[in-house]
Every structure is written in C-alpha cells, then in structure tokens.
Structure 1
Amino acid sequence: MMEGSARLPLWLSISVWDESFWLPHNVSRTQLEDSQNPLYPRLKDLYFILPWTWAIYMLRLLFERFIATPFAKFLGIDCRPIQKAQQNIVLEKVFKDITTEPGKNHLTRLAKQLDWDTKKVIQWFKLRRYQDKPSLLTKFCESMWKFTFYLWAFSFSFYYLSKSSWLWDSRECWYNYPFHELSSEVYIHFMMEFAFYGSLIFSQFFDVKRKLAKMANYAKWQNLCNVFFLMFAVVFIVTRLVIYPIMSIRSVFFESWEIIGPFKIWGFINLLLITLLIMHIYWSHLIIRMVFKAFHKGKVSKDDRSDVDSSSEDEDQPEQNAHAKTS
C-alpha cells in the first residue's frame, strides 16, 4: 500500500490517503503488511474493478438474452417490438415542436392537410410517442437481471456472514481492528458489488429504471405485484429504520469509541451513516404513502420515490389507450 500511495499526487496522499486519516492511532500500513494475515485490503485491488465491471456487464447481456427472454416468453409477456408510426414529415415536425398530442383544432387542420381521418392522426401521435419507449420485454429483462443479482448478493452474503462471529456480536468488528483477515468470500462480495454498480453507471444511459415488483406487473399478475410491494415495504422499513440504526450506527458510534477510540475518519463515517439514516426516513415516508394509496386503490400505483413515469396505467400499448379514449 505504501508503494501504491507513493505513486499518487502529493496532495492526495497527504489529505485522503494519509495513514492517520484512515487508521487508528499508533497503527501504520507497514504493520498491516508485516502482520500474519494472508489477505488484507490493498490499493492495487482497485485496479481490478474495471475488468470485473466489464465481466459483469457481459454476464448481464448473456443473462438477458438466454435466460430472461425465454422466461418472459414462458410467462406470456408480450415480446412483440413496439409498433412504429409511419414516416410523415408534416406530423414529425409537429411532434418535435410540441412532443405531445395537438389540440382538437390543430388535429382537425392536420387531418384536412393530409386528407386523413382525425382518428388516424390521433393514432399516429400515440404510436410516435410510444415508439421511443422500451418494450415490455426490455423492461422485464432489466428487472429480472437486477432481481437475480440482488438475490444472489443477499444469499451469498448471508451464507458467509452466518459463519462469522461479528454478525451476532458487533463488538467483534472492533477487537484487534484493523488487523482482520480479508476472507475470500468478503473479497468476492465487495468486488462483485463494485463491478455491479460500476456496470450500472455505464448502463444508466439506456436502462429503464424499473422496480423488481414490476416483473409481476408486466406478467399481469396484479395480486402478486401487490404482495411483492408489501413485502418490500416491510423489509425496507425494518432493515433501514430498526436494524440499521440499532446494529450499524450504534456499533460505529459507541462500540468503536469504547474499544479502539476515535480517529480522524471516525467522525466522517458517522456523518455518512446518519445522513443515510435521514434518507431512509424520507424514503420510508414515501413508501408508507404508497402503501396507503395501494390499499385505497386496490393496486400499487406510481412510485413517489422516482421522477420516472412508472405507473402501471402507462404500461399499456398505444392501441389499448386509444381504444379507452375513443370508446
């Protein structure tokens, strides 16, 4: 680590990578390197994030094509590509200017100009508006990939955490800190998490940003969708507002102070933990609002935590929406 930090700019080495900032008093990286632990965090491990990220992204493409797509077809999800509006220079120019459906008078003038029926013009704008949106298959495959990875990450972490003493006694995290062996399971878990979120940074420009319960919605299983959402709400609130402050924040704030004493990064870590707790409280408030809306309407509606238009009502095809308005 000393060799790796020596290659960093001087100001970065002093301000961010300084030993006294990261490690407790009277502990140096040299002691970590000279310890009997076969594995410990090294700066060079960060160099492997890029190939791991690329591997995870390639795995996602293979998963979506050979696993998620056949499974979507098995569930009966509409896998047809979105119908595109026929090319029309006049209507395309109007669409780009207003990006929505014109008013009634404007529609009448356009119909006369093109010698079309007004309903045909309305249908063209509906098709044009929807053709840039991802298909149900794309949405389902993305949701299934994220659901599968999160399920694996939870199962894998629970497997190796259940064998550790510090899961059941958080004080074990601070005894003999930081001279803890970096197990292969922890290393794999962290590298996979880094790679997964690294791939999301790359794919965020074309991802749909849908929730896991949306898979049931796409399959038209509304009751299952409601059950998934209720389970999500309960798990989120219990883990974020009960387990997280009682276990994580309490341990870092009180137990670390008692066992090893405060050091420079101690205050910064607690600031981040408390900031995250405030965000959890805000998100829980929005989720509870959604739960009440769901009980009132009988189904899960738009997610208040997101600006993305993700309500189930907007998942219909343009032909269905057009029929609802014209009938």
Structure 2
Amino acid sequence: MVQAIQDAFWGFSERFWTPVIWLPPNVTWNDLKSTEAARYGTTSDIYLPILFSFVLIFIRIIVERFIFCPIAVAYGLKPQIKRSSLVNNPTLEKAYLSSRKGKLSKKEMQGLLKQVDMTERQIERWMRLRFSQDRPSKTVKFTETAWRMLFYIVAFAYGLYCLWDKPWLSNIQHCWIGYPFEHTLTDDVWWYYMLELSFYWSLTLQHFQNVRRKDFWEMFVHHVATICLLVFSLVVNFTRVGTLVLVIHDIADIFLEGGKLMQYIRYTKACDTLFAIFLLIWIVSRLGYFPFWIIRSSLFEAYTFIPFFPVWYIFNGLLCTLLFLHVVWTYYILRILWRKFSGIEISDSRSSNSELSEDEINTNGSTSTPDNRDG
C-alpha cells in the first residue's frame, strides 16, 4: 500500500514537472542537474521549507510569549480581557453559533425569550460577552504584529546582503541573460529562498488561527500565490527575478507593521510618521517598481533573451495576481487616509469592524451599555 502511494506520488510529480511546460525548448532536467561547479534548484528543495516552517512557528511562539507579550504589558496592554464566567447555556450557545457574531434578529430574540428564563437585556449581555471570548485582545494583535515586523526586518536585511553585489539588482535584464545554464544558485540566495518560503508556509499554516481581518481571503490568496511563485521560480531557476520580488515586498511591510505597533500602544505621532513612510515606500515599490520594472520586463523584455515556453503564462499570471492584490490593499490604505483627513480616529482598516474594544467590558463582566455591541 505504501509503495503504491509512493509510486503514484512520483508518477504525478514526473507528469507535473514535465520539461515541455517548465523548461525552454531542447532543455531537460538532466541538463540542469547540480554539480560541484554549478548548483541549480531542484524539486527536493521545495519540501525543506515545510519542515523549516514548523521550526519558525516554534520560534514565533517562544518570542511572542517571552519577549513581545511582556513588552505589550509594559506599555499598558492587558494580557487578557477580564470577563465574568458565563453560565453554560446550551440554548444561547446554539443561537450564538448560528448568529452573525452574536447579533440576533427580532424574530430570533422573541424565540429565545420563550425558551430561556432571561430578559432581552440579559440575553444581549450574554451574547456580547460570548462574542468577546472569541475576540483576540490587543496584546495578541501586538505580539502577532511584532513578530511579523521582526521577520521583515531580518528578511529585508538578509535580502540586501544577498543582492548587494548581484548584477540583476541594478540591471533587470540580467534576470534573463544567460538563462538557464548561467543562472546557478548561490548558497546565500538558496538560504534566502528557504527563509522566505518557510515564513510564508508558517503564515499559511497559522492563517486560520491568527487575528481575522477584512482581507482574510485576499491575504490567504497572497500567501498561496507567493508560495507558488517562490516554488516554481526555485525549481526552474528564475531565482533572480524572485529575489527582486521578495526584497521590494519586505521593505514596505516593515513600516506597516511598525505603524500598527505604535497604534496599539497609542503613540499617535509615531504611528502617523511610520504610516507616511510606509505609504511612500508602498507607492514606489508595489505600484511603481513592481509593475513598471519587474512585470514590464517579464512581459516584454524576457522574450528577447529566452525563447518562449508555457511557464511564462504561470509566472506572469502569479505576478499579476500579486499586483491585483496590491491594488486592493491600496484601496484599504486610501480608506485610512480618508478617515484621517475626515477627523475619524485611524484604526487598521483591515481589522474586523465588529471587534469590541477592551474598555467596553467592565471588570465585573457586564458591558458598558446595551447598544455597544458593534464596537
């Protein structure tokens, strides 16, 4: 049975990685086998980051718990929201799970009043407290954001170290010149790929337990598209353009996550400053350099150096998917600007607008007002 599964897997792998799709004409995988003089990406490399991602998740848990959580508490964020212990009520629990975050229609409320010995106000309070138990505290948001910021700083610094002396950093045509035989994989670039792939695998594996935001599915698509782009570019030796995509994505995220941290600890001026820097870098890198330098070169320049083969549809499709997501997130950014200049307090527009603030729950477990359910 095990042997049959292994044979089926390797058979699928051989059909999937057919040279007709993934390699230029008259080039086979045997032509790109690594030697002592030249190293190329292989399909075996793509499984290592999955294992490394669990190591990264373990490091994240340790760093968040023993470093970032104490920092959050030192800045006045509560380690957890104080709540009264809710009385177990199967009827209300069933109604809560079938409702939209504890919000009941008038008909549903009338039905519950007939089933439980509680007033309408008591039912509303129970629903609010039950919803608050599922909502992450600001400390959780702080630690998640701090972890991402730490990674982006490390990844961007290492990316610059890898690319500093590489010719394709200043001249993108070197991403195509001499492909594929001259595009050997250096140790620093290989580790750069392992680092980034491990991180995006860890984000994907933990995506459904992290703080849920408005762009939940857009971010999930982003993770999947990024993993596919990195995996495919590693196997077919498009690592040069892959490193450029990585380094321009990491730099903007540093200031985005930093601005969120300042927001959580209520350092308004620092938050605004970091957000302004982020906005400038975002426009230059994500809406300028990425489409008009990288994608333009991939679409219109690469063919002058490399004969056409089907993989171009895959790579350019993934690059355009990332660009589309950049446009969607630019919409969220513009919403933040509109709120700022409209005099509305800035919050992370990607966060769920149904979240409650910690201050809306008193230490005795009751909500401050029956009409504050929406936060």
Given the two structures, how large is their TM-score scaled by the length of structure 2? 0.71
| Residue 166 (structure 1) shift | 0.9
| Residue 264 (structure 1) shift | 2.2
Contact 1:174 1:256 in 2 (8 A): yes
Q: Unpaired segments of 5 or more residues in structure 2?
A: 1-6, 214-255
Quick check: 1:168 aligned with 2:170? yes
Contact 1:21 1:263 in 2 (8 A): yes
Deviations 1:283-317 (A, max 9, x none): 323322331222212532452xx4x5158x83333
**Aligned AA for 1:323?**
S
Match of 2:271 among 221, 225, 229: 225
Moved more, 229-238 or 194-203: 229-238
**Aligned AA for 1:200?**
L
Contact 1:233 1:288 in 2 (8 A): no
| 1:44-123 superposed matches below 5 A | 44-87=44-87, 89=89, 95=96, 99-100=102-103, 113=117, 123=125
Instruction: Give the percent of matched residue pairs that are identical in Structure 1 and Structure 2.
Output: 29
Moved more, 69-78 or 163-172: 69-78
Corresponding residue number in structure 2 for 1:182:
185
Corresponding residue number in structure 2 for 1:264:
310
Corresponding residue number in structure 1 for 2:247:
none
| Residue 120 (structure 1) shift | 6.6
Distance of 1:96 and 1:17 partners within structure 2: 45
Q: Given the superposition, is the C-alpha separation of residues 67 and 132 from structure 1 closer, same or farther in structure 2, using an over 3 Å criterion?
A: same
Distance of 1:57 and 1:28 partners within structure 2: 37
| Residue 102 (structure 1) shift | 8.1
Contact 1:56 1:199 in 2 (8 A): yes
| Residue 21 (structure 1) shift | 1.8
| 1:121-136 superposed matches below 5 A | 123-136=125-138
Contact 2:286 2:326 in 1 (8 A): yes
Distance of 1:86 and 1:279 partners within structure 2: 41
Distance of 1:101 and 1:26 partners within structure 2: 65
Quick check: 1:150 aligned with 2:152? yes
Corresponding residue number in structure 2 for 1:278:
324
| Residue 49 (structure 1) shift | 2.4
Quick check: 1:191 aligned with 2:194? yes
Distance of 1:7 and 1:300 partners within structure 2: 53
Find the residue that maps to 2:323 and give its secondary structure.
helix
Deviations 1:99-135 (A, max 9, x none): 23787x97xx79x955x8x877655443232122122
Corresponding residue number in structure 2 for 1:137:
139
Contact 2:34 2:40 in 1 (8 A): no
**Aligned AA for 2:14?**
S
Find the residue that maps to 1:175 and give its secondary structure.
coil
Find the residue that maps to 1:263 and give its secondary structure.
coil
| 1:235-250 superposed matches below 5 A | 235-250=281-296
Contact 2:56 2:198 in 1 (8 A): yes
Q: Given the superposition, is the C-alpha separation of residues 34 and 56 from structure 1 closer, same or farther in structure 2, using an over 3 Å criterion?
A: closer
Distance of 2:274 and 2:367 partners within structure 1: 30
Contact 2:262 2:268 in 1 (8 A): yes
Q: Given the superposition, is the C-alpha separation of residues 122 and 23 from structure 1 closer, same or farther in structure 2, using an over 3 Å criterion?
A: closer
Contact 1:37 1:181 in 2 (8 A): no
Q: Given the superposition, is the C-alpha separation of residues 84 and 232 from structure 1 closer, same or farther in structure 2, using an over 3 Å criterion?
A: farther
**Aligned AA for 2:194?**
M
Larger radius of gyration: 1
The structure showing larger relative contact order (alpha-carbon pairs under 8 Å, at least 6 residues apart) is 2
**Aligned AA for 1:318?**
E
| Residue 238 (structure 1) shift | 1.8
| 1:7-26 superposed matches below 5 A | 9-10=10-11, 12-14=13-15, 16-26=16-26
| Residue 157 (structure 1) shift | 0.7
Q: Given the superposition, is the C-alpha separation of residues 296 and 324 from structure 1 closer, same or farther in structure 2, using an over 3 Å criterion?
A: farther
| Residue 154 (structure 1) shift | 1.4
Distance of 1:324 and 1:151 partners within structure 2: 42
Query: Aligned pairs, how many?
Result: 314
**Aligned AA for 1:214?**
K
Deviations 1:254-307 (A, max 9, x none): 33211223222123322332343233233323322331222212532452xx4x
Corresponding residue number in structure 2 for 1:316:
358
Contact 1:82 1:130 in 2 (8 A): no
Contact 2:295 2:316 in 1 (8 A): yes
| Residue 168 (structure 1) shift | 0.4
Contact 1:84 1:131 in 2 (8 A): no
Distance of 2:146 and 2:298 partners within structure 1: 35
Contact 1:252 1:270 in 2 (8 A): yes
**Aligned AA for 1:197?**
Y
